[in-house]
């Protein structure tokens, strides 16, 4: 998979890809991340990427030309399956969208800033608009990093243990069961006995029940959806 991220503050996007699982995925050649500074695509002398909005009103709007130059240039190099715009008024990201995107070959992610982009960018280039929740961030970069993390970890070979992504919370619309590690007793706080019993069918049944109970208590909305 190849992901091109277009941003006006590309520095925000260096560390997420420079540590841990995402770094290893890049090193293994399972994903390529290319970060583009939108200012490199500005032709006017003032390096202006935003301007006042037509009709008046507070806040600047990202201009179409640098975005067009960047996206159109990329599109001459390869076909893109998705051109995603990160925006608080997009569709809220969930596991299903992450699963879908993890199967794509080439993706562009455009990070919004200020009042957002000129609507014509959305109308003519964007295939999908994604938000990461009902709150406002200063820009789309942190949201883009969240999106990349959730997608990249699903690419086969990225996680050491192939089955572990499948048992995550939300993968089957249930929260994950509680987990424990050594010691079996700490300050008198004991690990549930079933987990040290060695009876794996019973352990599996216990985990399923715990998942269901946790979901019922903490996220009953997940059980209503179908
Ligand atoms: Cl994608 N962008 C911004 N600026 N704020 C957000 C968001 C995105 N998702 C939630 N809040």
CATH of the domain at 174: 1.10.1270.20
- Whether the predicted model's global pTM rises above the 0.85 cut: yes
Distance in Å from the first CA to the final CA of the chain? 30
Q: Specify if 130 maps to a domain.
A: yes
* Interval 50-62: pLDDT, tens: 999 999 999 999 9
Q: Specify if 158 maps to a domain.
A: no
Measured distance CA(101)–CA(81) in Å, rounded: 9
Based on the fold, state whether residues 147 and 114 are members of the same structural domain: yes
Based on the fold, state whether residues 86 and 181 are members of the same structural domain: no
127 Cβ partners below 8 Å, 6+ apart? 82, 83, 84
Q: Specify if 92 maps to a domain.
A: yes
Q: Specify if 66 maps to a domain.
A: yes
3-state SS, residue 157: coil
Q: How far is the CA of 211 from the centre of ligand 1 (A)?
A: 30
Measured distance CA(160)–CA(10) in Å, rounded: 29
Using the predicted structure, report yes or no on whether residue 172 has a pLDDT greater than 90. Answer: no
Q: How far is the CA of 162 from the centre of ligand 1 (A)?
A: 31
The pLDDT-based confidence of 39 (bands split at 50, 70, 90) is very high
Measured distance CA(66)–CA(108) in Å, rounded: 15
* Domain region containing 113: 2-152
DSSP-derived letter for residue 177 is: P
Based on the fold, state whether residues 46 and 107 are members of the same structural domain: yes
Go through the chain and tell me how many residues it has. 226
The pLDDT-based confidence of 45 (bands split at 50, 70, 90) is confident
Based on the fold, state whether residues 193 and 97 are members of the same structural domain: no
3-state SS, residue 153: coil
Measured distance CA(151)–CA(102) in Å, rounded: 5
Around 103, how many Cα atoms within 13 Å sit in the side-chain half-sphere? 5
Q: Specify if 73 maps to a domain.
A: yes
Q: Specify if 213 maps to a domain.
A: yes
Q: How far is the CA of 141 from the centre of ligand 1 (A)?
A: 8
What does residue 117 show for φ and ψ, rounded to 5 degrees?
Answer: -95, 155
Q: Average pLDDT, stretch 198-214? A: 97
Given ligand 1 and candidates 6, 87, 133, which is best to mutate, with the most ligand atoms within 8 Å of its CB?
A: 87
The domain boundary, picked from 126, 152, 178, lies at 152
What does residue 32 show for φ and ψ, rounded to 5 degrees?
Answer: -115, 130
Cβ of residue 88 lying under 6 Å from some atom of ligand 1: yes
The domain boundary, picked from 152, 186, 211, lies at 152
Residue 121: its pLDDT value, please?
98
Based on the fold, state whether residues 75 and 99 are members of the same structural domain: yes
Instruction: Please give the share of the chain, as a percent, with pLDDT higher than 90.
Output: 89
Q: How far is the CA of 85 from the centre of ligand 1 (A)?
A: 10
Q: Specify if 159 maps to a domain.
A: no
Q: What is the count of structural domains for the chain? A: 2
Q: Average pLDDT, stretch 129-144? A: 97
CA 195 to chain centroid, in Å, comes to: 33
What does residue 193 show for φ and ψ, rounded to 5 degrees?
Answer: -60, -35
Alpha-helical runs (H) found in the chain: 20-27, 64-77, 95-101, 119-124, 141-152, 200-218, 220-224
Based on the fold, state whether residues 71 and 181 are members of the same structural domain: no
Using the predicted structure, report yes or no on whether residue 226 has a pLDDT greater than 80. Answer: no
* Interval 144-169: pLDDT, tens: 999 999 999 999 999 976 556 766 77
Q: Quote the Cα angle for 126-129-132, to 5°.
A: 150
Residue 163: its pLDDT value, please?
58
Q: Average pLDDT, stretch 28-37? A: 97
Based on the fold, state whether residues 23 and 55 are members of the same structural domain: yes
Based on the fold, state whether residues 148 and 192 are members of the same structural domain: no
Q: Please name the helix (run of DSSP H) or strand (run of DSSP E) that holds residue 129, with its range, or none.
A: strand 128-131
Residue 167: its pLDDT value, please?
67
Q: Average pLDDT, stretch 53-81? A: 97
Based on the fold, state whether residues 94 and 174 are members of the same structural domain: no
Question: Which has the higher per-residue pLDDT, 212 or 162?
Answer: 212
Based on the fold, state whether residues 148 and 187 are members of the same structural domain: no
Q: How far is the CA of 112 from the centre of ligand 1 (A)?
A: 8
Based on the fold, state whether residues 172 and 136 are members of the same structural domain: no
| Residue 216 tokens, joined | 């019922």
Q: Average pLDDT, stretch 125-145? A: 97
Cβ of residue 135 lying under 6 Å from some atom of ligand 1: yes
Lowest-pLDDT choice from 36-45, 78-87, 187-196: 36-45
Based on the fold, state whether residues 90 and 183 are members of the same structural domain: no
CATH assignment of the domain containing 85:
3.40.1280.10
Q: Specify if 161 maps to a domain.
A: no
């Amino acid at each position: 998979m190849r992901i091109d991220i277009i941003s006006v503050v590309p520095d925000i996007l260096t560390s997420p890809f420079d540590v841990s699982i995402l770094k290893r995925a890049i090193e293994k050649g399972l994903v390529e991340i290319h970060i583009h500074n939108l200012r490199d695509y500005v032709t006017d002398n003032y390096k202006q990427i935003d301007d006042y909005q037509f009709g008046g009103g507070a806040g600047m709007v990202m201009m179409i030309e640098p975005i067009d130059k960047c996206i159109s240039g990329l599109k001459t190099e390869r076909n893109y399956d998705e051109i995603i715009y990160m925006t608080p008024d997009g569709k809220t990201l969930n596991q299903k969208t992450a699963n879908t995107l993890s199967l794509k070959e080439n993706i562009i992610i455009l990070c919004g800033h200020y009042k957002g982009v000129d609507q014509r960018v959305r109308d003519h280039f964007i295939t999908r608009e994604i938000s990461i929740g009902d709150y406002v961030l200063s820009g789309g970069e942190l949201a883009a990093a969240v999106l990349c993390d959730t997608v990249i970890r699903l690419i086969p070979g990225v996680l050491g243990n192939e089955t572990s992504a499948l048992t995550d919370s939300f993968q089957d619309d249930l929260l994950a069961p509680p987990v424990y590690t050594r010691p079996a007793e700490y300050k008198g706080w004991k690990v549930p006995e079933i987990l040290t019993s060695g009876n794996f069918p019973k352990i599996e049944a216990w985990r399923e029940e715990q998942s269901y109970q946790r979901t019922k208590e903490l996220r009953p909305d997940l059980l209503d959806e179908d």
